[in-house]
Amino acid sequence: LELVKQLRYAVENEELVVYYQPKVELLSHRIVGMEALVRWIQEDGTVVGPDKFIPIAEDTGLIIPLSEFVLKEACKQLHHWHKLGFDDLTMAINISGKQLHLPHLVDDIMNTVHAAQVPADRIELELTEQVFIENIQSHTHFMHAIRENGISLAIDDFGVGYSSLSYLKNFPVTSLKIDRSFINDLPDNEDDAVIVQTIINLAKNLNIQLVAEGIETADQVDFLMSRECGIGQGYLFSRPLSAENITELLENYH
């Protein structure tokens, strides 16, 4: 209960900050986009990760104002980076299944995107598998409406849990993020190598963009590049950083 109170206070008083982690085109080393990842900076300076409070936010409804804050902040930041000359950058924002029950979610998202003056086709929403499993008509409706507005849709953490290939057929997804548990033991783990190869082929044949998560070593990059996985994200390139630190990274990156 104490934690719920503290989180409510944090959301209302903007103790939350958005960190960003780059997505890198493996072949060119170009930074092509960012993923927005929320953090809670407590009064004493402790940085709390979302695993600790997103579930609480979802159970208490705080996920709604929290997500509005993250979307608004991430769009404003993207506009800022575009103005600095990094004008191809995309921004990926995580969406909780709990948000999808909001009646005006598509309009709310589009209003925020337009207010920040960022092109819709530079925005991507990451949906976790749960959303696809539920397979509620309103969710499908949301996805089509979002795509009609030009925003991209990614399946996050692909391959864990009950991921089904039928998602790729039944939902208008533009991108898959291979869960980092499959990347972790590459290139040595033969099962993971086969699984990743299969997902790469699948994405290629369906013309869906592929992002490998959790890249930590150059050997992993070599494996993925040799198999034509286009984009990666992970500590090897950068940890999630504050907007200020990302700006510095962008300016010093070649």
Could you say whether residue 157 binds Na ion (CB under 5 A)? yes
CB of 21 to ligand G, least distance (A): 6
Contacts with Mn ion, residue ranges (CB under 5 A): 94, 126, 156
Q: Under the phi-then-psi rule, with left for phi > 0, alpha for psi from -120 to 50, and beta for the rest, what region is 94?
A: beta
Q: Under the phi-then-psi rule, with left for phi > 0, alpha for psi from -120 to 50, and beta for the rest, what region is 150?
A: left
Binding site partner of 152, from ligand G, Na ion, Mn ion, none, Cβ cut-off 5-8 A by kind: none
Q: How far apart are CA 76 and CA 226, in angstroms?
A: 36
Among 35, 73, 129, 156, binds Na ion (CB under 5 A): 156
Q: How far apart are CA 210 and CA 110, in angstroms?
A: 25
CB of 211 to ligand G, least distance (A): 9
Binding site partner of 216, from Mn ion, ligand G, Na ion, none, Cβ cut-off 5-8 A by kind: ligand G
Q: How far apart are CA 171 and CA 116, in angstroms?
A: 28
The torsion angle over the Cα atoms of residues 50, 53, 57 and 60, rounded to 10 degrees, is: 170
Task: Write out the binding residues for ligand G, residues 140-159 only, by CB under 6 A.
Answer: 156-157
CB of 129 to ligand G, least distance (A): 10
What ranges make up the beta strands (E) of the chain?
16-25, 31-41, 47-48, 90-95, 123-127, 152-158, 175-178, 209-212, 231-232
C-beta of 7 vs 38, nearer to ligand G: 38
Binding site partner of 65, from Mn ion, ligand G, Na ion, none, Cβ cut-off 5-8 A by kind: none
Could you give the 3-state DSSP secondary structure of residue 156?
A: strand
Binding site partner of 38, from ligand G, Na ion, Mn ion, none, Cβ cut-off 5-8 A by kind: ligand G
Interface residues with ligand G (CB under 6 A)?
A: 21, 37-38, 49-51, 54, 67, 70, 94, 96, 156-157, 180, 213-216, 233-235, 240
